[in-house]
Amino acid sequence: MTVFGVGVFQSALAPPDLRRSLARPLWRLVAAPSLRLAVTMVGWPMLEAGEVGEGWADFYDPQIVMSVLLDTDFGRVWCWRLGLAAVLIVLAFVDRRPSRPMLAVLAGLLLGSLGLICHAAMQSGLIGWLHSGNHALHLLAAGFWFGSLVPLLFCLRDRSLSKDALAAVRRFSALGHVAVAAVIITGVVDTWLVLGKLPIDLASPYQALLATKIALVAVMVAAALANRYVLLPPLLARSRASSPMLRYSAMGEVVLGFGVLAVVSALGTLEPV
């Protein structure tokens, strides 16, 4: 999500001069997640091998790992993801140009393809494809919203905002409406397709965590609305001055976003009942 958000911000939201000034600090934000991506891309199928096999003994078994990669739907999708991840990691360290549309495309494909191996993959036929597509759109919208907040904070760090920084804030605000609406709509559809009802049975670990995720996202939406309609207009009216409250609120959104990701990670290990 970070790589996707940075790639979109640099390619579509930041004016040329701002792209160049942010190129070095944002490269560090791209490099670190790329290294973590390399580790998790290799580790995930090994953990799957341990789950379908006899535990930790099969975690290291090349035959079981290759069977997971070559003989399962998860593995076939993962092989494509491994290829995309390899290209993205190389590009992240080789290409340091300010504008990085290819990085955004590769990160977007990696992020969206998670929709093919999540709970949506349990359904078959047309409904399964629609569910996977909805989940992929949910991930991409959330990735833009959450991932672009990080470079946005770099624009808000100075007491006086440049004309380019103000332009980037305006563009993010406009696209943020679309992203937040998409997150909400696809989230509702995803909940209906998985559970067929509201997550109100808090005795179910899955429903309790899903309700927690919804609550955290609701707080993020409230913060985003406050940013756009309460804190941003005075900043745009003054044209140059930065708003500490807007910066702190955006930081709060990032913290809440990490909380959502932690809950989603736990949800992926539970049966959706």
pLDDT tens track for 95-154: 777 678 899 999 999 999 988 887 656 666 788 788 889 999 999 999 999 999 989 988
Q: What angle do CA 83, 183, 170 make, to 5 degrees?
A: 95
Q: Which residues contact 96 (CB under 8 A, 6 or more apart)?
A: 23, 27
pTM: 0.89
The burial of 130, by beta-carbon neighbours within 10 Å (0-12 exposed, 13-18 middle, 19 or more buried), is given as middle
**Cα–chain center distance at 6:** 11
**Cβ proximity of 104 and 8 under 8 Å:** yes
Amino acid identity for residue 36 in this structure = R
Question: How many Å apart are CA 72 and CA 223, to the nearest integer?
Answer: 42
Place of tokens 């360290």: 93
Q: How many CB atoms lie within 10 A of CB 34?
A: 20
pLDDT at 179: 94
For range 79-87, the mean pLDDT: 92
Write down how long the chain is: 273
pLDDT at 128: 79
Q: Is residue 242 predicted with pLDDT exceeding 70?
A: no
For range 17-33, the mean pLDDT: 87
